[in-house]
């Protein structure tokens, strides 16, 4: 399992992470980011891509 953290003070809800890891990240009806804090290792590549594309660098994987 991998643990994911999003600094919601930095997040501007652009949603780029949703395109990279749709099983982990989503925008709710108010266009605010929601995410799961832990995911199966099979999602690691997708989450790493989401970390890379986040314009605010608000996402990180906790090792």
Q: What is the mean pLDDT of residues 39-57?
A: 97
pLDDT at 63: 86
Q: In sequence order, what are the residues at sequence separation of 6 or more whose Cβ sits closer than 8 angstroms to the Cβ of residue 42?
A: none
> Taking the model in full, what pTM does it have?
0.93
Residue 54, pLDDT > 90, answer yes
* Domain count for the chain: 1
Domain that holds residue 17: 2-62
- Residue 58 belongs to domain with CATH number: 3.30.70.20
Q: In sequence order, what are the residues at sequence separation of 6 or more whose Cβ sits closer than 8 angstroms to the Cβ of residue 5?
A: 37, 59, 60, 61, 62
pLDDT tens by residue, 8-36? 999 999 999 999 999 999 999 999 999 99
């Amino acid at each position: 399992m991998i643990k994911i953290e999003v600094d919601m003070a930095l997040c501007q809800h652009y949603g780029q992470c949703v395109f990279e890891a749709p099983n982990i990240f989503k925008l709710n009806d108010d266009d605010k980011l929601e995410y799961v804090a832990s995911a199966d290792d099979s999602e690691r590549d997708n989450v790493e891509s989401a970390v890379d594309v986040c314009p605010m660098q608000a996402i990180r994987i906790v090792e």
